[in-house]
């Protein structure tokens, strides 16, 4: 029973990080059709942002999350305004451009912060263990899980309960008709890209105390995030949540029984087989486009 509870929370912890990263990726692709290969670098920028805030400004991780969201979101907004918006409906060009943006961001961080590994201190209040069903669990991992749920609820509210969300859904279904009703599609795209980048930045900040902060740390995360989005059905918010939960638990179980390397390989192989027979994903959402 102890092993089962530990495994459950390990899987939920993995799923939480995957969900935060994948959520932004799914929103960006679902709205604009942009395959953003630089998404992992936004995760990396979030980690470096919280490191900078902690080391040079004395701002702790929890207090710095708002600043991280703003900083990385602003970078995402700038990237969309200057590069991405000129490449809509050109998928191959977008893939190449976002890959190049990722390389540029990595090298810029190497030049600015150095190539050596950086470390972020975990908040003292979250270093303790919390007993759950008689089993001690990391307070920090529980914090990540609860914050992920809160951000998921906020994202759902933003998309389905606000005027901006209504415009976003209108632009997603038919941008030309949305323009006819006076919706500024360019602004919607920019804000959506910024929001997705900001979520990735928060994910990077949360990962920073658990892993070493390095310029290339986002590469592995973006591969996992794409798997979550593909399995989830690309445009389905609920599908992204379910996919992250499934892949997180499966990865955790295999890692527990064998090792992390085998877990990643088997999960990736499983996703390849899945998209061979279910190319629309397990939780694809049907959407009528004009």
Which letter, b or e, does each residue of 136-156 get, where b requires 16 or more Cβ atoms within 10 Å of its Cβ? Answer: ebbbbbbbbbebbeebbeebe
The mean per-residue pLDDT over the stretch 222-246 comes to: 81
**How many whole angstroms separate alpha carbon 199 and alpha carbon 205?**
10
Q: Kindly indicate the confidence band of residue 289, based on its pLDDT and cuts at 50, 70 and 90.
A: very low
Phi (first) and psi of residue 118, to 5 degrees: -115, 155
Question: Distance (Å, rounded) from C-alpha 105 to C-alpha 246?
Answer: 31
Residue pair 166/11 in contact by the 8 Å Cβ criterion: no
Q: For residue 273, is pLDDT > 80?
A: yes
Structure confidence at residue 175 (pLDDT): 87
Binned at pLDDT 50, 70 and 90, residue 288 comes out as very low
Decide which of 2.40.10, 1.20.140, 1.10.3470, 2.60.120 is the CATH code for 2-117+137-277: 1.10.3470
Cα–Cα dist 96/139, whole Å = 41
- Per residue in 64-111, pLDDT (tens digit) is 999 999 999 999 999 999 999 998 888 889 999 999 999 999 999 999
Residue 212: predicted pLDDT? 87
- 166-191, pLDDT tens digit by residue? 999 899 888 889 999 899 999 999 99
Query: Is residue 290 scored above 70 in pLDDT?
Result: no
Q: Please give the pLDDT value at position 285.
A: 56
Cα radius of gyration (the chain): 19
Identify the band that residue 243 occupies on the pLDDT scale cut at 50, 70 and 90. confident
Average pLDDT, rounded, for the chain: 87
* Secondary structure of residue 265 in the 3-state scheme: helix
pLDDT for residue 235: 62
Burial grade of 41 (CB within 10 A; 0-12, 13-18, 19 or more): buried
Percent of the chain with pLDDT over 70: 96
Residue 20 near residue 222, CB atoms below 8 Å = no
DSSP string, 10-28: HHHHHHHHHHHHHHHHHHH
* CA 26 – CA 201 distance, rounded (Å): 15
Residue with tokens 């970078």: 75
DSSP H/E element including 136: strand 135-138
Question: Which residues are CB-neighbours of 28 under 8 A, at least 6 positions away?
Answer: 34, 36, 39, 192, 193, 196
- For the cut 80, the answer to whether the pLDDT of residue 7 exceeds it is no
Q: How far apart are CA 172 and CA 174, in angstroms?
A: 6
Do 173 and 188 touch, CB atoms closer than 8 A?
Answer: no
Secondary structure (H, E, C), 150-207 = HHHHHHHHHHHHCHHHHHHHHHHHCHHHHHHCCCCHHHHHHHHHHHHHHHHHHHHHHH
Structure tokens at 103: 């390389």
* Residues above pLDDT 90, as percent of the chain: 49
Domain ranges of the chain: 2-117+137-277
Q: What is the pLDDT of residues 17-62, one digit of tens each?
A: 888 888 888 888 878 888 899 999 999 999 999 999 999 999 999 9
Element (H, E) at 55: helix 39-56
Which tokens is 77 given? 């907004």
Of 104-113, 131-140, 142-151, give the lowest mean pLDDT range: 131-140
- The residue that leads in pLDDT, 129 or 257, is 129
pLDDT band at 6 (very low <50, low <70, confident <90, very high): confident
| Whether residue 284 has pLDDT greater than 70 | no
Length of the chain: 290
């Amino acid at each position: 029973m102890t092993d089962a509870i530990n495994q459950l929370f390990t899987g939920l912890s993995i799923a939480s990080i995957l969900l935060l990263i994948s959520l932004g990726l799914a929103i960006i692709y679902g709205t604009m059709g942009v395959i953003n290969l630089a998404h992992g670098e936004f995760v990396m920028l979030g980690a470096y942002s919280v490191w900078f805030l902690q080391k040079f400004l004395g701002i702790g991780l929890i207090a710095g999350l708002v600043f991280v969201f703003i900083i990385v979101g602003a970078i995402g907004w700038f990237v969309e305004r200057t590069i991405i918006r000129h490449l809509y409906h050109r998928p191959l060009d977008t893939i190449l451009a976002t890959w190049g943006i990722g390389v540029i961001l990595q090298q810029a961080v190497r030049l600015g912060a150095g190539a050596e590994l950086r470390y972020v201190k975990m908040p003292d209040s979250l270093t303790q263990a919390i007993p759950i069903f008689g089993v001690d669990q990391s307070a920090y991992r529980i914090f990540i899980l609860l914050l992920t749920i809160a951000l998921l609820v906020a994202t759902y509210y933003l998309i389905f309960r606000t005027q901006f969300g209504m415009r976003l859904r209108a632009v997603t279904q038919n941008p030309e008709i949305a323009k006819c009703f006076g919706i500024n599609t360019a602004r919607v795209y920019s804000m959506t890209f910024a929001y997705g980048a900001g979520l990735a930045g928060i994910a990077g900040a949360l990962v920073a105390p658990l892993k070493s902060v390095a310029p290339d740390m986002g590469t592995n995360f973006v591969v996992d995030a794409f798997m979550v989005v593909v399995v989830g059905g690309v445009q389905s918010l609920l599908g992204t949540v379910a996919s992250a939960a499934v892949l997180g638990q499966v990865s955790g179980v295999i890692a527990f029984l064998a090792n992390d390397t085998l877990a990643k390989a088997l999960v990736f192989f499983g996703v390849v087989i899945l998209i061979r027979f279910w190319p629309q994903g397990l939780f694809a959402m049907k959407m009528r486009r004009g």
